Chain A
Amino acid sequence: MGSEYTVLIIGYIFGFYMAWNIGANDVANSMASAVGAKAITIRQAIFIAGILNIVGAVFIGSHVTQTIRKGIVSTDILADPHLALIGALSALLAAALWVSFATWKSLPVSTTHSIVGAMIGFGIMAGGFSVINWGKLGAVVLSWVISPVFAMVIGFLMFKTIVKFILSKEDPFAQALKLAPYFISIALFVVILSFLFKTPLGKSLAVGTPLALLIALVMAIALGFVAVKILRIFIKKTNLTGEEEVFRKIQIGTSCYVALAQGANDVANAIGPLAVIYFLVKTGSVGAKVPVPIFLLFFGGIGIACGIGMAGHRVMDTIGRKITTLTNTRGFSVDFAAATTVMVASKMGLPVSTTHAAVGGVMGVGLARGIEAVNFRIIFEIILYWVLTVPAAAITSIVIFKILQLFI
């Protein structure tokens, strides 16, 4: 029994390490455009991201997690508790190591894809190639193409719309105020829909697609008007002028949402395998789905927040100094493109990451000539690491599995 508790403690350490990595690696993607466009300060970004990630993880995060993320590997491999224990541990460590390596080397990888790759490695070791659901793996490959392209198109269109209807007008500030309700409502529509579709809490409400669309539409319009009222009060109080200021306020809202959704969705990457270990140690067996105790979600949320807190400052500082060409209208376009893409793609069942969508959004705004200079060639490097993530995490997982088998 003693050795099993040792395993559980090791599991906690690995799980925390993974959560820490998620925080350190992903904070840049969700907050970059907001910090770059000076919508929020570095301190605010870290605070918002930290708190909202915990809130998202605990309250919106999945209370029942699939033991194998995204159903990519058959659950048959969990039949042998001993193998499952080693597998979950090695998958967790492999994914965390790969994400750490990527953060160190500044490679934009997806934490979701890392855990998926690590799970594949474990699956191959435990049950051979036949346990892999190749169709699901195809969806992962598809998401490498779809999410950036889709985000690029949305980002392009959104920025062009802002230019046409606001920036190029004679009095852009008045025009921005006049059209703010529409932009806020559109953003809210996406936020509410993605809340209903993507977050586990929304899913548990189990509303159908047409009803969800209707709810989102009504709420978006209603909330849009409330938001504009608040915006107007803000403007009267602080005497702000300029169309960028209007979008700065909107952008604060979108970045908060991204942080919340991130906590809700990504916590499972660290906590899913940890929950498997937890149940194997406690009950000796595990099924396709396990309930996740609140304290585990909280543990994951804290881990993410720690990652944000410890690595966040340096990340944000670099962003603030380097992305000087991003204004609020551009930042909003990027945020909107990323949020919409993540929402639509997850509705289609594709495992997308915010990283990929945000990169696509920046490309779109760049193509719309919104940014004075964007390095497009970096996209090839980025794509290379998206493709490498799955096999790299799988191989690492296999190696760790072999090593752990010697000891446990």
Chain B
Amino acid sequence: MRIPFISMFMTSPFDGLQEHAEKVKECAWVFQRAIECIIEDRCEDFEHFRKDIDKLESEADAIKRRIRGHLPKGTLLAVDKFEIFRYLGEQDKVLDVVEEGLDWLSFRAAAGIPEVLEKDFMLLVAAVMDPIEELSKMVAEARKYFSNFAEDQRVVVKDIIRDLRHYEHEADKLEDAVKEKIFNAIDDPVAVFHLIRLTEIIGSIADHAENAGDMMRAMVAK
């Protein structure tokens, strides 16, 4: 039996945002493992990572579609509907960029990453993992804020957003340093092009995480 009274209540889009953030995190972990695999030089199963990411990406896509498709006109939310869409868009871009990075890496997987740059790339990837892991925490804390509207809780969310900005800045600095090293240490122009582009892609992961943070800042604005 369907009850009229409860048709007013609907699934919260925040459930979806949180699920989506988890998927992004999983993707990032796969990416990190893939980079490590390439660096270890014994990477026979690189395709396996791509398949994993592909699967995660399509799952995340389904979540995204579910959120977008289930907020009909006239839905009243704790925040503006389009703020949620914009936030979701940024969070999804993080995932897209991770996938793009893995694809780019695979085009020249045999050559891998030159030994002189191994450590730098490990550091750069580690630097962009931090903001990604913050995302799901941020969604959870923001949800808490929407349940009690306490100033304390707002500060918690704002602190995470500030951390995101900080992480992005750190990743930016690392990115520049890696780029400089590539130009100076590598002579093969094809390798330079491949590595520079890879650096930029990895660096933009943090950019999108920061953008997501900015969108969240707009949502928790009074």
A binds B: yes
A residues in contact (CB < 8 Å) with B? 28-29, 32, 36, 103, 106-108, 163, 167-170, 172, 311, 314-315, 318-319, 322-327, 355, 358-359, 362-363, 366-367, 369-379, 382
- Other-chain contact of B2, A106, A169, A374 (Cβ < 8 Å): A106
Say whether A369 contacts B1, CB under 8 Å.
no
Task: Tell me the complex Cα distance, A372–B78, Å.
Answer: 5
Residues of chain A contacted by B75 (CB below 8 angstroms): 373-377
| Nearest CB in chain B: distance from A324 CB, A | 8
B10 beta carbon closer than 8 Å to chain A: yes
Q: Known: A170-B152, A367-B76. Is A374-B8 also a contact (CB below 8 A)?
A: yes
Say whether A167 contacts B149, CB under 8 Å.
yes
Say whether B77 contacts A107, CB under 8 Å.
no
| Nearest CB in chain A: distance from B139 CB, A | 12
Say whether A163 contacts B148, CB under 8 Å.
yes
The main secondary structure of chain B at its interface with chain A is mixed
- Other-chain contact of B146, A28, A324, A326, A369 (Cβ < 8 Å): A369
Say whether B150 contacts A326, CB under 8 Å.
no
| Nearest CB in chain A: distance from B140 CB, A | 13
**A-B CB pair tally, cutoff 8 Å:** 119
* A168 nearest CB neighbor, chain B only: B150
Residues of chain A contacted by B151 (CB below 8 angstroms): 168
Say whether B3 contacts A371, CB under 8 Å.
no
- Other-chain contact of B9, A170, A367, A371 (Cβ < 8 Å): A371
Residues of chain B contacted by A324 (CB below 8 angstroms): 12
Task: Tell me the complex Cα distance, A371–B77, Å.
Answer: 7
**Contacts A325-B12, A373-B76, A375-B7 given; 16 further ones with Cβ under 8 A?**
A106-B1, A106-B3, A163-B148, A170-B150, A355-B5, A358-B5, A366-B8, A372-B12, A372-B13, A373-B12, A374-B9, A374-B76, A375-B10, A375-B75, A377-B73, A378-B7
Residues of chain A contacted by B72 (CB below 8 angstroms): 375, 377
Task: Tell me the complex Cα distance, A135–B27, Å.
Answer: 67
Say whether A315 contacts B9, CB under 8 Å.
no
Task: Tell me the complex Cα distance, A168–B6, Å.
Answer: 28
Say whether B3 contacts A28, CB under 8 Å.
yes
- Other-chain contact of A318, B6, B11, B71 (Cβ < 8 Å): B6
